[in-house]
Amino acid sequence: MNDDHETGNDPEDTAGPHEYGFETRTIHAGARPDPVTGARNTPIYQTTSYVFDDVDHAADLFNLQTFGFIYTRIGNPTVAVLEERIANLEGGRAGVCAASGHAAQFLTFFTLLEPGDEFIASRNLYGGSITQFGLSFKRLGWTCHFVDPADPENFRRALTPKCKAIFLEVLANPGGVIVDLEPVIDIAREAGIPVIVDNTMATPYLCRPFDWGADIILHSTTKFLSGHGTAMGGALVESGQFDWGQNDKFPSMTEPEPAYHGLTFHETFGDFGFATKARAVALRDFGPAMAPVNAFFTLTGLETLHLRMERHVANAQAVAEFLDRHPKVAWVSYAGLKSNPYYDLARKYLPKGAGSVFTFGLKGGFDAGVKLVESVNLLSHLANVGDTRSLIIHPASTTHRQLTEEQQVNAGAGPDVVRLSIGLENIDDIIFDLEQSLAGL
């Protein structure tokens, strides 16, 4: 296991008085030159296991009495740098990476919940999360209550004695809905439960949910953090601020863990106990580890996150304004438009821009959506977001097709909806491609 120590001001995690900027930390946080070879970039530690100093050292590692590496399923030096860098950028205490965003969600909820427990989630989520929460989690004895986040009080109304968390996407995929985070966090505080925020669409460059009081942040690192459509991954980060011992809702954190001779994670590891439990039990036993090479690609992508997000947002704003004027477009859901109902919330939570993933509706409905995605040339028709390339998809016929039409509409993915993930190409070329394709409808 790696040492989930707190990331400091120094970009390479040594104490220092200078407050390094976000841009510097995307390049340096968590990393040092290799002590043996002097390699400046973090190497790909493509190994399964690590040599122990002696029997006592091995025992201390397995008993969680010292930090280090045992087996790459649990921790790897390349992955550890990525974990520290993401935690640093989010302002969190510790992080754990996994094979995908879905894997990170599973590790989080397995660490939180017991069979029979419940949690509340915004209904404006990625379609795969709705399916995971609403169907697959049920088979594990976990129940999710979906609510409309437009009124934060809906989260309070859905609370039950068995509810253990609130989950939301602050910038929702695919509808561009922005959730008013502060009142939701207040509701969770009163209930003594954590708020989990999927920050994939915003990234820590546009929004830092911990600054508003969130407790756990999740990412599909496959998207903007990696940024090039080359590496799968997920991450969870804990703030270190949630008191797991404030009530009796979290026995996995506050009661002795039989797999570690009765060790109590909250008592032993304090403000990074949740991440340690997620790694030492959930990641160890279920094994959705991030591959070292994927961590390497994601670290490389992170180095340009700030530059990429600036261009993503600028291009998305221009495309949204073009579509908003187009006669074949019924509506555009982009919070960067002054006419958008989430414009003020975007200025509050995402002052650097409303992201680059948004939806719009075609007057021709389902059939027009299918024809549009099949007629573009520059834009790629595929099921991903956050790529350097501009992407397009018709959710009702692809990512959200497993949902009922009512669920599709509730998730912002109705029959007329087209989702765009605007990339880094020349803006005139992106608009030309869309203009030509819309003309053919």
> Do 209 and 104 fall within a single domain?
yes
In this structure, what token pair is assigned to residue 351?
């002052």
Residue that terminates a domain, selected from 261, 286, 301: 301
Task: Using CB atoms within 10 Å of the CB of residue 24, give its burial: 0 to 12 exposed, 13 to 18 middle, 19+ buried.
Answer: middle
> Do 65 and 140 fall within a single domain?
yes
Provide, rounded to the nearest whole percent, the portion of the chain with pLDDT above 90: 87
Radius of gyration of the chain (CA): 22
- The arithmetic mean of pLDDT across residues 66-88, rounded, is 97
In the block, which residue shows the tokens 């690192």? 221
Residue that terminates a domain, selected from 301, 331, 350: 301
Condensed to tens digits (0 to 9), the pLDDT of residues 222-239 reads 999 999 999 999 999 999
Please indicate, yes or no, if residue 391 is contained in any of the structural domains.
Answer: yes
Cα separation, 157 vs 151, in Å, equals 10
Please indicate, yes or no, if residue 233 is contained in any of the structural domains.
Answer: yes
In this structure, what token pair is assigned to residue 90?
């989010």
**Range in 1-15, 33-47, 91-105, 423-437 the model is least confident about:** 1-15
> Do 233 and 368 fall within a single domain?
no
- The arithmetic mean of pLDDT across residues 364-371, rounded, is 93
β 118-122/163-169 pair status = parallel
> Do 223 and 132 fall within a single domain?
yes
Q: Kindly report the CATH number assigned to the domain that includes residue 76.
A: 3.40.640.10
- The arithmetic mean of pLDDT across residues 47-65, rounded, is 96
In the block, which residue shows the tokens 């976990």? 142
4 pLDDT band, cuts 50/70/90, is very low
Alpha carbon separation from 175 to 85, 171, 332, 410, 421 (Å, rounded): 29, 9, 10, 10, 12
Please indicate, yes or no, if residue 16 is contained in any of the structural domains.
Answer: no
Condensed to tens digits (0 to 9), the pLDDT of residues 285-313 reads 999 999 999 999 999 999 999 999 999 99
- The arithmetic mean of pLDDT across residues 329-350, rounded, is 97
Confidence (pLDDT) at 127 = 81
Counted domains in the chain? 2
Cα separation, 305 vs 204, in Å, equals 9
- 14 has a pLDDT exceeding 60: no
The domain containing residue 188 runs over which residues? Answer: 22-301
> Do 287 and 330 fall within a single domain?
no
Backbone angles phi, psi at 208, to 5 degrees: -120, 95
Backbone angles phi, psi at 71, to 5 degrees: -155, 135
Cα separation, 137 vs 184, in Å, equals 23
- The arithmetic mean of pLDDT across residues 335-350, rounded, is 97
Confidence (pLDDT) at 152 = 96
Q: Which residues of 101-115 are buried (b: 16+ CB within 10 A; e: fewer)?
A: bbbbbbbbbbbbbee
User: 0.85 cut: is pTM over it?
Assistant: yes
> Do 82 and 160 fall within a single domain?
yes
- 406 has a pLDDT exceeding 90: no
> Do 92 and 188 fall within a single domain?
yes
16 pLDDT band, cuts 50/70/90, is low
Q: Kindly report the CATH number assigned to the domain that includes residue 332.
A: 3.90.1150.10
Condensed to tens digits (0 to 9), the pLDDT of residues 134-186 reads 999 999 999 999 999 999 999 999 999 999 999 999 999 877 899 999 999 99
> Do 255 and 315 fall within a single domain?
no
Please indicate, yes or no, if residue 1 is contained in any of the structural domains.
Answer: no
Q: Would you give the distance in Å from CA 130 to the centre of its chain?
A: 15
Cα separation, 239 vs 210, in Å, equals 6
Alpha carbon separation from 288 to 98, 128, 238, 315 (Å, rounded): 6, 17, 19, 35
- 128 has a pLDDT exceeding 80: yes
- 119 has a pLDDT exceeding 50: yes
Please indicate, yes or no, if residue 245 is contained in any of the structural domains.
Answer: yes
Specify whether the CB–CB gap between 291 and 284 falls below 8 A.
Answer: no
Q: Residue 163: enclosing H or E segment and its boundaries?
A: strand 163-169
> Do 194 and 173 fall within a single domain?
yes
- The arithmetic mean of pLDDT across residues 85-112, rounded, is 98
- 1 has a pLDDT exceeding 80: no
In this structure, what token pair is assigned to residue 56?
């006592």
